[in-house]
Amino acid sequence: MGLNAALTVPTTAQRPRDNGHALVGSRCGQCGAVSFPARAVCHRCGTPAPAEHTFATTGVLLTYTTVHVPRPGLPAPYTLGQVALDDTGPTVFGQVRMNGAEPAAGMAVRVRIGADGETPRYWFEPDRFAG
Amino acid sequence: MTSDDIEVIGVGMHPFGRFTGHSLKDLNRVACVSALVDAGLGVQDVDAVYAANAMAGLLQGQEMIRGQSVMREIGIERIPVTNVENACASGSTALRQAVLAIRAGSADVVLVAGVEKMFVEDRGRTLAALESAGDLDVVSGIGLQFTAVYGMRLRRLVAAGRLTVDDLVAVSVKSHANGALNPYAQHRKIVSPEEVLGSRPIADPLTLLMCSSICDGAAAVVLARRGVIPSAGRPTVRVRASQAATGYTTTGNEPSLTETCATAAYAEAGLGPEDVDVAEVHDAMAPAELIAYEHLGFCGPGGAGALLGSGATQIDGSRPVNPSGGLSSRGHAVGATGLAQVAELTWQLRGEATGRQTHQPRIGLAHNNGGWLEGESAVSCVHLLERTDPWD
């Protein structure tokens, strides 16, 4: 497939970022590299138009921090984390809502998708069903 | 032609700190005029300008022709002025463009200037401007502040046993002690480990005294093709390597961006990390200096705490790092930072760093990163400078 396939991919606004319960991005059919959100050309091998891909709803919290400096619409403290989504999904940043519990590196988390128009669009919570 | 044919013939700074009554033009004027005076040149000796700034568009509303507007204040018109924005690495990126312009044969004498004015009436605007150093299409609304990115990175290393909280504190104490010796520094107060640990939490494990803060300032460097400007009888500093790289989508298993960029710089110069006598590294949060030790090859994985503990990276050690106080204590006037590093290294290599002079350095390394993509800096620049004259 020639690079010109990247000319006709959906616009960024047309590409879904979630399906209501999971994050959606792209996965390269050539090399398997994943990206959230989807891209027009694979960042690893340069193949155009990587396929739309729905990622696992579960992942591992690699690291986190509690931020004590508020931002508009975001009272402090709040917790941010870096999560590696399961099934060789992408590594993404997001808020971690612990609902009073203490976060820990290596803990299983589950992605939550907000309602339409909600900010942020997604966040993570402890995965209560994890073994 | 190689980069060996380019010399740093002048450097200058406006002190970093809070300068409420000083405009971008005032800050830039002091840095540029100081650098030109240092070089023994007038403004009409300059062939081209690369002007670095990151935030004047959002903070002062000067989105376009930032360089042209500050340069006309010091009588620089007509010659090409190119504006450079690469977040916190704007200054070093501009320096690299100047190196390339001279190598390309299009200029003999180039002024590289970085200016930033982050103190505005509403601190929230400055924080919002800093957040634009990420890919907003991806991270907007998450609340991903600079401090948080570093906090997460450091927590991971502490959890893996590669750093301790004591290491984070100790390097912050060192940063402040060095800054206290630097007349250009924003933070010039010695602090104790207890004060660092007890200061306000920002993004754990980071506390206030570990972090760089909002800062005004400017720095400038004059580069020239070797032989064009006669040496003023003082030690010559030349550019041995000038490398830049962009961050990549990481799976966590690749070498870091800094490592990639530094490897290219060492290869360009035919040098290795063991040859570096003094370094100015990108420590927007003081503990990031420890990460840089590993990524620049100053120690092996997990060796940063021991290297710090050995005293080697102190001003009187065998390989001093951030004698200026680094970003966290000298200050981090974003677009000026990369050039402030080069000013410091030039003073160190010439033996002009007064109360913070390191012992007869020959090779200096400047490491300046900028922005972030998910999990990695967006930009990295590494420059290697050499004092060509022997020390007496």
One domain for residues A48 and A105: no
Residues from chain B contacting residue A93 (CB–CB below 8 Å): 139, 142, 144, 374-375
A4 Cα to chain B: minimum distance (Å): 23
One domain for residues A80 and A117: yes
Give the active site residue among B14, B176, B187, B332: B332
Q: Using one digit for the tens of pLDDT, what is the confidence trace for A98-113?
A: 988 899 999 999 999 9
A1 Cα to chain B: minimum distance (Å): 23
One domain for residues A50 and A64: no
CA pair distance B248, B132, nearest whole angstrom: 18
A6 Cα to chain B: minimum distance (Å): 19
Q: Is A3 domain-assigned? A: no
- B147 to A69: CB separation less than 8 angstroms, yes or no: yes
Q: Is A68 domain-assigned? A: yes
Q: Is A29 domain-assigned? A: yes
One domain for residues A48 and A63: no
CB proximity A35 to B under 8 Å: yes
CA pair distance B180, B189, nearest whole angstrom: 5
More confident residue, B40 or B253: B40
Q: Is A2 domain-assigned? A: no
Residues B337, B88 contacting (CB under 8 angstroms)? yes
pLDDT of residue B3 exceeding 70, the answer is no
Quick one: pLDDT band at residue A1, thresholds 50, 70, 90? low
Quick one: pLDDT band at residue A131, thresholds 50, 70, 90? low
Residue B390's CB is within 10 A of a number of other CB atoms, namely: 8
B32-36, B146-150, B358-362: segment of lowest average pLDDT: B146-150
One domain for residues A39 and A66: no
Q: Is A37 domain-assigned? A: yes
Overall number of domains in chain A: 2
One domain for residues A88 and A42: no
**Chain B residue with the nearest C-alpha to that of A17:** B138
pLDDT of residue B2 exceeding 70, the answer is no
Phi, psi of A105 (to 5 degrees): -60, 135
Q: Is A67 domain-assigned? A: yes
Q: Using one digit for the tens of pLDDT, what is the confidence trace for B267-319?
A: 999 999 999 999 999 999 999 999 999 999 999 999 999 999 999 999 999 99
One domain for residues A64 and A122: yes
pLDDT of residue B175 exceeding 90, the answer is yes
CATH number at residue A62: 2.40.50.140
Q: Which residue, B325, B326, B281, is CA-closest to B299?
A: B281
pLDDT of residue B164 exceeding 80, the answer is yes
* pLDDT for position B350: 98
CB proximity B135 to A under 8 Å: no
- Tell me the three state secondary structure of residue B306: helix
CA pair distance B49, B36, nearest whole angstrom: 12
A51-60, B68-77, B137-146, B318-327: segment of lowest average pLDDT: B137-146
* pLDDT for position A85: 97
Q: Residues with Cβ < 8 Å from A115, sequence gap 6 or more?
A: none
One domain for residues A67 and A117: yes
A115-124, B164-173, B325-334: segment of lowest average pLDDT: A115-124
CA pair distance B254, B261, nearest whole angstrom: 13
One domain for residues A62 and A122: yes
Q: Is A119 domain-assigned? A: yes
Task: Enumerate long-range contacts of B255-259, CB under 8 Å, 24 or more apart.
Answer: B256/B295, B256/B376, B257/B369, B257/B376, B257/B377, B257/B380, B258/B282, B258/B291, B258/B292, B258/B295, B258/B296, B258/B367, B258/B369, B258/B377, B258/B380, B258/B382, B259/B295, B259/B296, B259/B297
- In A, residues 62-101, which contact B (CB 8 Å cutoff)? 62-69, 71-72, 74, 78, 80-82, 84, 90-95
**Chain B residue with the nearest C-alpha to that of A89:** B251
Helices (H) and strands (E) in chain B, counts: 14, 11
CA pair distance B339, B50, nearest whole angstrom: 11
One domain for residues A69 and A105: yes
Span A54-62, average pLDDT: 97
Tracing tokens 């030349």 back to the chain, one arrives at B238
- Tell me the three state secondary structure of residue A105: coil
Quick one: pLDDT band at residue B252, thresholds 50, 70, 90? confident
DSSP A96: B
% of chain B surpassing 90 pLDDT? 93
**Chain B residue with the nearest C-alpha to that of A94:** B142
More confident residue, B376 or B77: B77
CB proximity B127 to A under 8 Å: yes
pLDDT of residue B141 exceeding 70, the answer is yes
How far apart, in Å, are the Cα atoms of B77 and each of A94, B11, B72, B224?
Answer: 47, 21, 6, 19
One domain for residues A69 and A44: no
pLDDT of residue A130 exceeding 90, the answer is no
- A80 to B248: CB separation less than 8 angstroms, yes or no: no
Radius of gyration of the CA atoms of chain A, in A: 16
% of chain B surpassing 70 pLDDT? 99
Q: What is the average pLDDT score of chain B?
A: 96
One domain for residues A49 and A88: no
Q: Is A1 domain-assigned? A: no
* pLDDT for position B1: 45
pLDDT of residue B139 exceeding 50, the answer is yes
DSSP B86: B
B332 is catalytic: yes
Structural domain boundaries, residue A23: 11-54
pLDDT of residue B89 exceeding 90, the answer is yes
pLDDT of residue B232 exceeding 80, the answer is no
CA pair distance B346, B349, nearest whole angstrom: 5
Distance of CA B166 to the CA centre of its chain: 25
Residues from chain A contacting residue B132 (CB–CB below 8 Å): none
* pLDDT for position B115: 98
* pLDDT for position B230: 85
- B156 to A80: CB separation less than 8 angstroms, yes or no: no
Residues from chain A contacting residue B153 (CB–CB below 8 Å): 63
More confident residue, B48 or B253: B48
More confident residue, A116 or B267: B267
Give the active site residue among B14, B22, B32, B88: B88
pTM for the complete prediction?
0.97
Encoding tokens for residue B292? 């840089």
CA pair distance B213, B224, nearest whole angstrom: 33
